[in-house]
């Protein structure tokens, strides 16, 4: 009697027969590098792609690291120039949002317009069946789930995905802890195994963001006021600040930390308060521009939400007019930022507790 190979070997064999092609967005970091290595090990026909999205990144360390990883894995390596598209879709969006007094989320927009927008489109045109990224998130059928490593989970930045984009996307490292990913990198012999995580603006890196945006928007001297309306300082423009931002003032000869509680663009003033001041906390918000990954929930909808990356999930209720009411008042609700909705996954209830990211919206007010 013929003995069938193990299930894993069958999968590898079928992928070789089908010749499933995947283009991996390789940033030069450990996460996307391990994603590429895992996919090759699983039998996919893997091509690495490094995206250039900002002036000066044509031959930097990240590109060199991505090339070295591709060489070790013995996979084709491409460099695609998206600098023009990034400036139009991400950078100009940031400037518009700040100019309107809102707080943009460039990582969400970068995923929507670049990684799962133009990169996916070009990869499919080049013959790919899938794209893959180093995001910490899991896919199960038509659902998107939180990653195994909750401290690294990046589902918050992926709420704009459509079913078509999700169908063509793979997230190989979502089932691993960060420490396990580094261990895999060492096992694969990748030079980026101990490389530090990138920080700062998507594709641009660590910058002084305040000075960065002030080069694009004119300064306009305004006032910093206390909750009772007393002027206690000056600023370069209310546009450059976000609700909840920490600021240090010289008050009576002593430096004191305060936090932006209210932005008034008409008067170009900031109202600042102490950390525990009720002005910093809101019981509800209104959202707009909703996107649901799969099914639209029945409204009103009791769910969990987060209004910033890595924030613990908060209990809330969503109403038909876009109002979200929190069980506990939330600190620093910033218009322009994303609110993302979560609930226990019904599809995987029997396999253990999993949290599904259902979709999101933009905070309006």
Q: Can you give the pLDDT of all 365 residues of the chain as single tens digits?
A: 334 455 555 655 666 566 799 999 999 999 999 999 999 999 999 999 999 988 877 678 999 999 999 999 999 999 999 999 999 999 999 989 988 889 899 999 999 999 999 999 999 999 999 999 999 999 999 999 999 999 999 999 999 999 999 999 999 999 999 999 999 999 999 999 998 987 666 656 566 666 777 778 888 899 999 888 899 888 888 888 888 888 877 666 657 788 998 888 899 999 998 877 788 899 999 999 999 999 899 999 999 999 999 999 999 999 999 999 999 999 999 999 999 999 987 655 445 578 999 999 999 98
What positions carry a catalytic annotation?
Answer: 110, 202
CB-based contact 64:35 (threshold 8 Å): no
CB-based contact 270:222 (threshold 8 Å): yes
CATH class, 281-363 region: mainly beta
Euclidean distance between CA atoms 146 and 140, whole angstroms: 11
Q: Three-state secondary structure along 15-33?
A: HHHHCCEEEEECCCCHHHH
Place of tokens 């002084």: 208
Euclidean distance between CA atoms 312 and 207, whole angstroms: 27
pLDDT of residue 1: 36
Share of the chain above pLDDT 70, in %: 87
* CATH fold match for the domains 7-134+172-187 and 281-363: no
Euclidean distance between CA atoms 142 and 145, whole angstroms: 10
Q: Three-state secondary structure along 45-68?
A: EEEEEEEECCCCCCCCHHHHHHHH
Using DSSP's 3-state secondary structure scheme, residue 356 falls into: strand
- Read off the pLDDT of residues 210-227 as tens digits, 9 standing for 90 and up: 677 777 888 889 999 988
Q: Which two tokens stand for residue 16?
A: 């070789």
For the whole model, what pTM was predicted?
0.89
Within 10 Å of residue 27's Cβ, how many Cβ atoms?
A: 21
- The kind and range of the H/E element at 122 are helix 119-125
- Read off the pLDDT of residues 156-168 as tens digits, 9 standing for 90 and up: 999 999 999 999 9
pLDDT of residue 84: 94
Q: Domain map of the chain by residue range?
A: 7-134+172-187, 218-276, 281-363
Report the topology of domain 7-134+172-187.
Rossmann fold (3.40.50)
Fill in the DSSP letter of residue 352.
S
- Write the CATH number of the domain with boundaries 218-276: 2.30.30.280
- Angle (deg, nearest 10), helices 61-73 and 30-41: 20
Measured in degrees and rounded to the nearest 5, phi and psi for residue 234 equal -125, 160
Q: What's the burial of 353, exposed, middle or buried (CB within 10 Å: 0-12/13-18/19+)?
A: exposed
pLDDT of residue 35: 98
Euclidean distance between CA atoms 32 and 157, whole angstroms: 16
CB-based contact 150:142 (threshold 8 Å): no
Within 10 Å of residue 253's Cβ, how many Cβ atoms?
A: 5
67's CB contacts (< 8 A; 6+ apart) are 50, 77
- Read off the pLDDT of residues 333-357 as tens digits, 9 standing for 90 and up: 999 999 999 998 765 544 557 899 9
pLDDT of residue 210: 66
């Amino acid at each position: 009697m013929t003995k069938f190979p193990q299930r894993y070997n069958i999968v590898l064999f079928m992928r070789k027969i089908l010749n499933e092609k995947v283009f991996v967005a390789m940033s030069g970091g450990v996460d996307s590098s391990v994603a590429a290595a895992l996919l090759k090990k699983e039998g996919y026909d893997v091509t690495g792609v490094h995206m250039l999205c900002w002036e000066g990144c044509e031959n930097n360390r990240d590109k060199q690291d991505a090339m070295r990883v591709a060489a070790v894995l013995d996979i084709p390596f491409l460099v695609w120039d998206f600098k023009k598209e990034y400036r139009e879709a991400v950078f100009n969006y940031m400037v518009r949002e700040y100019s309107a007094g809102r707080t943009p989320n460039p990582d969400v927009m970068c995923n929507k317009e670049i990684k799962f927008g133009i990169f996916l489109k070009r990869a499919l045109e080049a013959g790919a069946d899938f794209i893959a990224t180093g995001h910490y998130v899991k896919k199960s059928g038509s659902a998107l789930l939180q990653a195994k490593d909750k401290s690294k989970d990046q589902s918050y930045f992926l709420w704009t995905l459509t079913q078509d984009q999700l169908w063509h996307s793979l997230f190989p490292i979502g089932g691993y802890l960060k420490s396990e990913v580094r261990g895999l990198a060492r096992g694969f012999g990748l030079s980026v195994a101990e490389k530090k995580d990138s920080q700062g603006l998507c594709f641009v890196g660590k910058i002084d963001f305040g000075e960065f945006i002030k080069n694009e928007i004119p300064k306009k001297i305004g006032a910093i006021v206390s909750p009772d309306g007393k002027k206690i300082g000056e600023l370069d423009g209310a546009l450059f600040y976000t609700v909840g931002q920490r600021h240090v003032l010289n008050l009576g000869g002593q430096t004191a930390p305060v936090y932006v509680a209210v932005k008034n663009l008409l008067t170009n003033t900031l109202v600042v308060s102490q950390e525990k001041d009720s002005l910093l906390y809101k019981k509800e918000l209104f959202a707009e521009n909703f996107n649901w990954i799969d099914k639209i929930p029945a409204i009103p909808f009791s769910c969990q939400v987060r209004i910033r990356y890595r924030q613990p999930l908060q209990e809330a209720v969503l109403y038909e007019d876009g109002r979200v009411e929190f069980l506990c008042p939330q600190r620093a609700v910033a218009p322009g930022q994303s609110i993302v909705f979560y609930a226990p996954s019904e599809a995987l209830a029997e396999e253990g507790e999993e949290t599904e990211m259902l979709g999101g919206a933009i905070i309006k007010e």
